[in-house]
Amino acid sequence: MKKFFLLSTLFITFWGANAYGQQWGPGVTSPEIHEDNSVTFWLLAPDADSVFVIGDFLPTVKVSSPMGEVDGPGKVPLQQDEYGRWSYRTDPLSAELYSYAFVVNGLTIIDPANSFVNRDIATLSSIFVISEGEADLYTINDVPHGTVSRQWYESPGLNIDRRMTVYTPPGYESSGRKYPVLYLLHGAGGDEEAWMSLGRTAQIMDNLLAQGKIKPMIVVMPNGNVIQDAAPGEGNKGFYKPQFMVPKTMDGTYEMNFMDIVRFVENNYRVFTDKANRAVAGLSMGGFHALHLSRYYPNTFDYVGLFSAAILNGNDANGKVYADIDGTLTAQMENGYKLYWMGIGKTDFLYKVNQDFRRKLDGIGMEYVYVETEGGHIWRNWRVYLSQFVPLLFQ
C-alpha cells in the first residue's frame, strides 16, 4: 500500500510539473545574461513553426499608433535546436532596464521562463536589467529605502474619491521634518502605477538619495485620467482592458481640478506649502499637463519638467485652461521660477512640436534647460530624464 501511494504521489507530482510547468519555467533559463553582457533568450516550443523576440534592445522600427507613426521595438527570429528549444543571442548590451516579448506563430506572449513582467497600458512585457552604469539607479541596492503607498483622496471638483501613488523618503515616518514635493505625471494610457512600475521611481529616488545627489522629497504620482478613480483593476470599475486615450484627459478638466491633489497632500503630509518647495513634471501627456499647470497656476510651482511633452497648438487645445498661452507664459516668466527643464529624443514623433515650443520660449526670452537624447518616445529616455531632473530640485 505504501509503495502504491508513493508511485501515485510521484505520478501526480510529475503530471503537475508538466501541466503547470510554465509557473516555474519550462526547462530553460531565460533570459540568460552572459559575462560580456550579451543575452540569450530561450523558449521551449517544440511544436512552433516560428519564434521571434521583440524588444527595446533591438534597433527601433516605425509602427502606426493612435499618436501617428512612432518608434516601436525591433524583431529578430530565434533558431530551433534538436530538443525543441528556440534561442537568440544578442550583442553585448549597455546597462539598462530592457523589455521584450516572444512572437510564437504570430501570437505575442511574455517569456514563460521569466516571472518579471511590467504593464504598459494594455501590453505586458517581460523585463531584465543589465547592471552597472545608468541601470544601477533602477535596481534595489543595499541602501535606505523610502515608502510607497497607494493613497485615496477626495476630489470635490470631480465629485469622486481617487487614488494616487505617493513615495516618501527614507525616515519620513520618524523624522518630524517637512519636505518639498514633486508632482510626477504619467502619459496617455498610463495611470498612477506607471511611474512606479515602468519609471522605477522608488529605486531612482532611493539610490540618488543614498549617493547624496538629491534632496529628500515626497513624490506624488496622481492618475491623470479624470474619468477613472484608479488604475484599471484597482478602482470601482473592476477589471477591464486599459485604453490608450480616455475621454477628458486633455480638455482642461485635469488642470482645473489639480489643486484638489495639492490641497490633500498639504493637509495630510508634512510638506512645505510654498512655491519654492513644489515641482511638477511629466512625460508626454503628463508633460502637456505640467506645462499648462505651471502657467495656469503661476504662483504654485518653482520647478517644471517637460519630458517628451505632448505640446498641442491653440487649435487643438481648447478651453479656459489653454487660453492666451503666450500671455500666460510671459506672466509665468515675469512672476519668476527656478527651473524650466525640457528633454526630448531626436527621433521622438513629438520632436518638431518641442522645437516649435522652444522657439516660442526664445521669442519671449524665457530661460530653460534643454536636453536632447538619442531614441524616441520611450521609457528608456524618461527614466534618464527623471534621474537628471530631480538632482536640480530644491537646491
Q: What are the extents of the domains in the chain?
A: 23-130, 143-392
Q: Are 88 and 75 in contact (CB under 8 A)?
A: no
pTM score: 0.88
Q: Are 260 and 280 in contact (CB under 8 A)?
A: no
> What DSSP state is assigned to residue 338?
S
User: For 19-45, what is each residue's pLDDT tens digit?
Assistant: 334 444 447 899 999 999 999 999 999
pLDDT band at residue 1 under the 50/70/90 scheme = very low
Q: How far apart are CA 186 and CA 190, in angstroms?
A: 6
Range of lowest pLDDT (144-153, 307-316, 327-336): 307-316
**Which H helix or E strand runs over 80?**
strand 79-80
C-beta neighbour count of 114 within 10 angstroms: 18
User: For 46-92, what is each residue's pLDDT tens digit?
Assistant: 999 999 999 999 987 766 665 566 677 889 999 999 999 999 999 99
Question: 23-130 adopts what CATH topology?
Answer: Immunoglobulin-like (2.60.40)
pLDDT band at residue 107 under the 50/70/90 scheme = very high
pLDDT of residue 227: 87
235 vs 9, residue with greater confidence? 235
Nearest in space to 119 (alpha carbons), one of 107, 131, 127 = 127
Q: How far apart are CA 65 and CA 244, in angstroms?
A: 10
- Cell matching residue 348: 521622438
CATH number of 143-392: 3.40.50.1820
Beta-bridge mates of residue 184: 281
Q: How far apart are CA 242 and CA 235, in angstroms?
A: 12
Report the chain's C-alpha Rg in angstroms.
23
Nearest in space to 350 (alpha carbons), one of 321, 382, 311, 316 = 311
**Which H helix or E strand runs over 368?**
none
> What DSSP state is assigned to residue 208?
H
Considering Cα of 78, then 81, then 86, then 87, what sign does the dihedral take? negative
Examine the pLDDT at 180 and tell me if it is beyond 90: yes
Range of lowest pLDDT (9-18, 94-103, 184-193, 345-354): 9-18
pLDDT of residue 69: 65
Percent of the chain at pLDDT above 90? 74
Percent of the chain at pLDDT above 70? 89
Q: Are 259 and 373 in contact (CB under 8 A)?
A: no
C-beta neighbour count of 12 within 10 angstroms: 10
Please give the mean pLDDT across all residues of the chain: 89
pLDDT of residue 230: 78
294 vs 1, residue with greater confidence? 294
User: For 355-393, what is each residue's pLDDT tens digit?
Assistant: 999 999 999 999 999 999 998 999 999 999 999 999 999
Examine the pLDDT at 181 and tell me if it is beyond 70: yes
Mean pLDDT within 169-195: 96
Q: Write the DSSP string, 267-331.
A: HHS-B--SGGGEEEEEETHHHHHHHHHHHHSTTT-SEEEEES-----TTTS-SGGGTTHHHHHHH
pLDDT band at residue 235 under the 50/70/90 scheme = confident
Examine the pLDDT at 251 and tell me if it is beyond 90: no
Helix (H, G, I), strand (E, B) or coil at 203: helix
List the beta strands (DSSP E) in 115-266: 117-120, 123-130, 147-155, 160-168, 181-185, 218-222
pLDDT of residue 67: 57
160-164's contacts with Cβ under 8 Å and 24+ in sequence apart are: 160/229, 161/229, 162/222, 162/223, 162/228, 162/229, 162/230, 163/192, 163/223, 163/229, 163/230, 163/231, 163/234, 163/235, 164/192, 164/220, 164/221, 164/222, 164/223, 164/261
pLDDT band at residue 352 under the 50/70/90 scheme = very high
User: For 266-322, what is each residue's pLDDT tens digit?
Assistant: 999 999 999 999 999 999 999 999 999 999 999 999 999 999 999 875 445 667 889
Distance of CA 340 to the CA centre of its chain: 21
User: For 224-234, what is each residue's pLDDT tens digit?
Assistant: 999 898 788 88
